[in-house]
Amino acid sequence: MVDIALIEAAARRLDGHVRETPLLSSPFLDRIAGRRVLVKAECLQHTGSFKARGGWAAISALDEAARRRGVIAYSSGNHAQGVARAAAALGAPAVIIMPSDAPLLKIENTRALGAEVVLYDREGEDRDAIGARIAGDRGLTLVKPYDDPQVIAGQGSTGLEIAAQAQARDVMQADVLVCCGGGGLSSGIALALEARAPGLRVRTAEPEGFDDMARSLASDRREVNSRRSGSLCDAILTPSPGEITFPILRRLCGPGLVVTEDEALRAMALAFLRLKLVLEPGGAVALAAALFRPEAITGDAVVAVATGGNVDAAVFAMALDRHEAAT
Amino acid sequence: MVDIALIEAAARRLDGHVRETPLLSSPFLDRIAGRRVLVKAECLQHTGSFKARGGWAAISALDEAARRRGVIAYSSGNHAQGVARAAAALGAPAVIIMPSDAPLLKIENTRALGAEVVLYDREGEDRDAIGARIAGDRGLTLVKPYDDPQVIAGQGSTGLEIAAQAQARDVMQADVLVCCGGGGLSSGIALALEARAPGLRVRTAEPEGFDDMARSLASDRREVNSRRSGSLCDAILTPSPGEITFPILRRLCGPGLVVTEDEALRAMALAFLRLKLVLEPGGAVALAAALFRPEAITGDAVVAVATGGNVDAAVFAMALDRHEAAT
């Protein structure tokens, strides 16, 4: 059961080990959106995404014996780095199962953060079987990317910061847009805001074609994406809302927002130009919704969580190139 | 006379109007530098550079009548935007004299921030004569970019933050590298550190060919650059150290550091990859010195001030393109 007490306990364990990221703004973005835009810059978090929070929360919650045996995670991206960093700092061996065609940089980063990377062939090998064998042999604890109470609680610490930072700016009523994959960050923030800033309401933001959460919120049951890949927003492509996260979001979240991939790239170019932040496409969809879906948002202000910045130079250059003139 | 009292008074006037920027780090940068690297992210300041501090400090120090008459500044870049933002917020009309061949984006930004932009022809017109006529006609106060006690005091507020943030990380002895043009930021930080963190010592960082401060610190007199333009580090190209700033730096600053333009571009690529920050070339020279001049630095940790992020997409893409493989 995830609740505000679990989130606050996680926040205490995270204190001094993750960054309180700044809430940034620009009058130029306000003009585009037609309201005040506040950007929670989680791309500045350790490892370049909010995943450092959930990784730390989950591993720091293990008892001493489990921690010493170690943890395992499946990820080709941000979750891998978040788990690897926390495990190394907390003295837990970490095994990360990654597809052998994952970007070399992400594999190297995960290794450099101290994890043992086990590669598998997406076509010919069964990821779960490989992971289960290693986990069984060594007694490792699986750290899931979102459907885990401690992971949700860790991501929810972002919501505690947003509540305090918005209050300090006299923003008491606003939509809080969150880039959404499985819903771990969105549901954690939703619970934190319910308790600490009830005038702030979470809204999920997703890329077109991968809008399982928006459709699930509309139909009131967990919908599935027809595709699993094929978007630049790779960090937030999940098959369907989580079992734990969806009931929380069904209760607390407003209608889901959906943006095009091109709008995400344009938001990246604007974050470059106006905020001096590097965002990855999946980390820019909430800002894109804040800027380009003004009619779907209520209130004088909007908060957008910029969830990550782990983007290849080539994709970043494409965003700048395509949108420099338009910004 | 600039001293710690003037800096603290400026910091009180700035409170709530400029950002306390974060001090960021990455284990990957530490490995390159061979020591702990702490990056003061002034590129996240309002207007994309530390100049928002000095502009606010200078205009907020004016008496009511002078403020109502207005201010004037000469700048094609960051100082223009810092002055324009502060003037608009503090109710002072602002005239910014800019060369007609300045980048259109910078002219438009300065106008969008509320200033009246007066363009002049670099070849055929005398900038100072144009400015003096307008200032005389309207009774405007000139806000100099660095050789002004209140501007130095405003930039010095950065040093108060560095002192507190370094202390919070148990960094009591370190070089603090500052990208240096006329020396306003460097001298302000030097005075703040002298009073609040005497174990931290300012070191200026400049691009090759425009190392007037490093040469002046070595020869103990104000040296002049032979060239005035022709570097991507346009934000920090000044003819020579300031009259007010140089005596402060001569007393408090360690030997000046010099990096190549290519090293500045490589530091930009690393800030993109490891910190998710957008830096301009002139704003990256201190980080470049921290990373690529380890033998010239002492101590287990180094602080680098990333002074600004106002860079064209084309220059940024060039930095990424040239150094992606090397990072």
Closest to B149 in 3D by CA, of B285, B3, B266: B3
Which phi and psi (to 5°) does residue A113 adopt? -80, 0
B106 or A35, greater pLDDT: A35
- Taking CA atoms, A81 is separated from A7, A84, A143, B32, in Å, by 21, 5, 12, 19
Q: A138 and chain B: CB distance < 8 Å anywhere?
A: no
Of the candidates B40, B50, B86, the residue with the CA atom closest to the CA atom of residue B183: B50
Substitution target from A276, A311, A315, A322 for chain B, most B beta carbons within 10 A: A276
Residue B11 has pLDDT above 80, yes or no: yes
User: What is the ipTM metric for this complex?
Assistant: 0.96
Label residues B141-166 b or e (16+ Cβ within 10 Å = b). bebbbbbbbbbbbbbbbbbbbbbebb
A303 strand-pairing partners: A38, A176
**pLDDT digit string (tens) for B235-281?**
888 889 999 999 999 999 999 999 999 999 999 999 999 999 999 99
CATH code given to domain B52-142:
3.40.50.1100
Contact B210, B226 (CB under 8 A): no
Mean pLDDT of A95-108: 89
CB contact under 8 Å between B113 and A313, yes or no, is no
CB-CB neighbors (< 8 A) of B19 in chain A:
22, 24
State how far the Cα of B114 lies from the Cα of B125, in Å rounded to an integer.
25
Check pLDDT > 70 for residue A74.
yes
**How far apart are alpha carbons B23 and B39 in whole angstroms?**
5
Binned at pLDDT 50, 70 and 90, residue B9 comes out as: very high
Q: Which residues contact B32 (CB under 8 A, 6 or more apart)?
A: B270, B291
Q: With an 8 Å Cβ cutoff, is A195 touching chain B?
A: no
pLDDT at A65: 97
* Contact yes or no for B269 and A309 at CB 8 A: no
Q: What local confidence, expressed as pLDDT, does residue A326 receive?
A: 52
For chain B, the first-to-last Cα distance in angstroms comes to: 44
Tokens representing residue B193 in the block: 């550190």
What confidence score (pLDDT) does residue B72 get? 97
- pLDDT of A295 reads 98
Q: What are phi and psi of B28, to 5 degrees?
A: -70, -35
Query: Would an 8 Å CB–CB cutoff place B65 in contact with chain A?
Result: no
Q: Where does the pLDDT of residue A323 fall: very low under 50, low under 70, confident under 90, or very high at 90 and above?
A: confident
CB of B241 within 8 A of CB of B212?
A: yes
- Using the Cβ of A169 and the Cβ atoms of chain B, whether some distance falls under 8 Å is answered with no
pLDDT tens digits along B271-304: 999 999 999 999 999 999 999 999 999 999 999 9
Q: What is the C-alpha to C-alpha distance for residues B291 and B268, in angstroms, rounded to an integer?
A: 11
Statement: residue A327 has pLDDT above 70:
no
What confidence score (pLDDT) does residue B67 get?
98
Q: Do A321 and B317 touch (CB under 8 A)?
A: yes
Residues 6+ apart with CB under 8 A from A250: A216, A217, A220
Please state, in angstroms and rounded to a whole number, the distance separating the CA atoms of residues B257 and B213: 9
Contact B313 A269 (CB under 8 A): yes
Q: Which residue of B has its CA nearest to A42?
A: B276
Residue A324: the pLDDT is 72
How far apart, in whole angstroms, are the C-alpha atoms of residue B304 and residue B176?
6
CB contact under 8 Å between B320 and A313, yes or no, is yes
User: In this predicted model, what pLDDT tens digit does every residue of B200-219 receive, in sequence order?
Assistant: 999 999 999 999 999 999 99
- Predicted confidence at residue A325, as pLDDT, reads 54
The structure tokens listed for A155 are 């991501």
- The domain made up of B4-50+148-323 has a fold known as Rossmann fold (3.40.50)
CA distance B297 to B299: 7
Alpha-helical segments (H) within chain A = 4-14, 27-33, 51-60, 64-69, 78-90, 104-112, 127-138, 149-168, 184-196, 212-219, 245-252, 261-270, 285-292, 313-323
A27:B113 CB<8 A? yes
Average pLDDT over residues A102-128: 90
Q: Among A72-76, A275-279, B8-12, B20-24, where is mean pLDDT lowest?
A: A72-76
- Smallest CA–CA distance, residue A163 to chain B, in Å, is 18
Indicate whether B326 pLDDT > 70. no
Contact check, Cβ <8 Å, B22/A24? no
Q: Is the pLDDT confidence value at A45 over 60?
A: yes
Q: Which residues of B touch A315 (CB under 8 A)?
A: none
- What is the least distance, in Å, from the CA of B151 to any CA of chain A? 23
User: In the prediction, which pLDDT does B287 show?
Assistant: 98
* Residue B179, pLDDT score: 98
Same-fold call for A4-50+148-323 versus A52-142: yes
pLDDT for position A227? 85
Domain spans in chain A, listed from the N-terminal domain onward = 4-50+148-323, 52-142
Tens digits of residue pLDDT in A127-183: 889 999 999 999 999 999 999 999 999 999 999 999 999 999 999 999 999 999 999
Is B276–A277 a contact, with Cβ atoms under 8 angstroms apart? Answer: yes
Residue in chain A lying closest to B42 (CA): A276
Nearest to B88 by CA among B65, B130, B56, B118: B56
pLDDT confidence tier of residue A41, bands split at 50, 70 and 90? very high
Q: Count CB-CB contacts under 10 A for residue B88.
A: 17
Q: What's the pLDDT at A299?
A: 95
Q: What is the pLDDT of residue A168?
A: 97
Instruction: Report the alpha-carbon distance of residue B240 to residue A153 in Å, rounded.
Output: 54
Mean pLDDT, residues A292-298 taken together: 97
Average pLDDT, whole number, for chain B?
A: 95
DSSP A53-91: HHHHHHHHTS-HHHHHH-EEEE-SSHHHHHHHHHHHHHT
pLDDT > 70 fraction of chain A, expressed in percent and rounded: 99
Residue A288 — very low, low, confident or very high, per pLDDT cuts 50/70/90? Answer: very high
Contact A28 B277 (CB under 8 A): no
Q: pLDDT at residue B128 above 90?
A: no
Give the end-to-end CA distance of chain A in Å, rounded to a whole number.
44
